[in-house]
């Protein structure tokens, strides 16, 4: 559901939402962004009237839950890996088309869409990585590390959306669609060979890929956090030459006043 446009301003009066609600700038520069946009608009124009964006959102969530179950099943039957690929395709359809369909029909609900979108994303990541942890193709420790790294990067993105006004959903030409494709290709590769040899030892292919994923997401998070901190510091520097308030101008709580005087609260 990363096609919903996020907000950088909250409102208290629902009746004025259309006039006072300001949306953040959406930045999508992945390899497949242009082709994907054209495909989604084509699909939106041909979606039956009885299907709305909420139906597609639910499809995206349920398909990721099904992918989790398929990964679990793959521990005893490798056909589960093929089922995961099908579930990822359905997840792309629901997760990507819901926002496009809402905008195509002029049914956009920016606050609702942004909130539900990212709640669903959090549950989807939990389902997917939980399923991988239950399969025999990725160790639980690596799956947990991926989930933590994903959530940390998500926090940075959401904070930047609010504070900076930019909603970035792709980094270094890689977005959610490209990641789904890579995971699908990884599933097909695991059907052929599930281990690789590095430094004289055998490792699970998904453990190696997962470790690289953890390192990449954490590196992106740190770089983005540093850049946004520097940008915000330059836009909001510490005031220079502004007189400081006196003790009479600022009413401190009783406990704080007592500590400043060196007195005990007892």
Q: What integer pLDDT is reported at residue 207 of this predicted model?
A: 97
pLDDT for 247 equals: 64
Query: Does any domain span residue 155?
Result: yes
pLDDT at 259: 55
Write out residues in the chain with pLDDT < 70, as ranges.
1-22, 247-266
The answer to whether residue 145 is domain-embedded is yes
What is the separation of C-alpha 27 from the centre of its chain, rounded to a whole number of angstroms? 13
Condensed to tens digits (0 to 9), the pLDDT of residues 198-215 reads 888 899 999 999 999 999
Buried b (16+ CB within 10 A) or exposed e, 45-80: eebeeeeebebbbebbbbbbbbbbbbbbbbeeeeeb
Residue 13 located in a structural domain: no
Could you give the number of structural domains in the chain?
1
Residue 70 and residue 89: Cα distance in Å, rounded? Answer: 14
Give me the domain span that covers residue 148: 20-260
The domain that holds 132 is classified in CATH as 1.20.120.1760
In a domain, residue 15? The reply is: no
Residue at 265 is within a domain: no
Q: Quote the pTM value.
A: 0.83
Structural domain includes residue 14: no
What pLDDT does 250 receive? 59
Q: What is the pLDDT of residue 12?
A: 46
The verdict on residue 157 lying in a domain is yes
**Residue 218 covered by a domain:** yes
Look at residue 1 in the predicted model and tell me its pLDDT: 44
- Looking at residue 11, its pLDDT comes to 47
Q: How far apart are CA 113 and CA 24, in angstroms?
A: 13
Contacts of 72 (CB under 8 A, 6+ apart): 80, 131, 134, 135
pLDDT of residue 251: 59
């Amino acid at each position: 559901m990363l096609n919903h446009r996020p907000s950088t301003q909250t409102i208290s009066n629902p009746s004025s939402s259309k006039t006072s609600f300001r949306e953040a700038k959406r930045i999508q520069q992945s390899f497949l962004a242009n082709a994907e946009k054209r495909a989604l608009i084509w699909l939106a124009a041909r979606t039956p009237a009885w299907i709305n964006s909420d139906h597609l959102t639910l499809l995206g969530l349920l398909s990721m839950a099904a992918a989790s179950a398929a990964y679990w099943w793959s521990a005893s039957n490798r056909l589960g890996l093929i089922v995961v690929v099908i579930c990822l395709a359905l997840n792309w359809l629901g997760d990507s088309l819901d926002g496009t369909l809402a905008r195509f029909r002029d049914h956009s609900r920016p606050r609702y869409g942004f909130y539900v979108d990212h709640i669903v994303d959090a549950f989807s990541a939990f389902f997917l990585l939980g399923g991988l942890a239950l399969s025999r193709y990725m160790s639980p420790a690596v799956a947990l590390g991926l989930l933590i790294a994903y959530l940390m990067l998500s926090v940075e993105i959401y904070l930047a959306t609010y504070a900076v006004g930019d909603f970035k959903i792709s980094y270094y030409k890689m977005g959610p669609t490209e990641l789904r494709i890579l995971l699908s290709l990884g599933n097909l590769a695991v059907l052929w060979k599930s281990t690789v040899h590095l430094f004289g030892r055998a490792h699970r292919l998904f453990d190696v890929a997962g470790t690289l994923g953890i390192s990449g997401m954490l590196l992106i998070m740190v770089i983005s956090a540093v850049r946004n901190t520097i940008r915000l510091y330059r836009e909001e520097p510490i005031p220079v030459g502004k007189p400081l308030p006196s003790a009479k101008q600022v009413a401190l709580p009783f406990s704080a006043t007592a500590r400043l005087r060196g007195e005990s609260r007892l």
